Amino acid sequence: MERTITLTLPNTPAREAIARSMVLALAVRAGLAPLAADRAGAAAAAAVAEAGPGEATLVATADGAATMVTISAADGFERVLRLERAPLRPV
């Protein structure tokens, strides 16, 4: 079953923090380790900041294998993050 979340972020001072929090929660739900989830959140915040002024849209699609987060803006900017738990390697 595929699930989708869409979040539209207007140009406000808090939009990077909101994007970071959303992606952090999705990464934890996808099974990423805490540090990897934090890095994914930071990457999302950086992408939203890079999107420039204007409205940014985050579309997260979760299926069984991974969660895909697409960050886009009206000027054609688009960044895709893939949140997927890596298998643990034996030590």
Across 35-44, average pLDDT:
94
Parallel, antiparallel or unpaired: strands 78-83 and 3-9? unpaired
In a domain, 90, yes or no: no
Question: How much is the pLDDT for 52?
Answer: 85
The range of the structural domain enclosing residue 46 comes to: 3-83
User: Per the structure, how many domains does the chain have?
Assistant: 1
Cα gap 78→40, rounded to integer Å: 16
Question: How much is the pLDDT for 46?
Answer: 95
Tell whether the model's pLDDT for residue 1 goes beyond 70: no
Tell whether the model's pLDDT for residue 64 goes beyond 80: no
Across 44-64, average pLDDT:
91
In a domain, 61, yes or no: yes
Tell whether the model's pLDDT for residue 43 goes beyond 90: yes
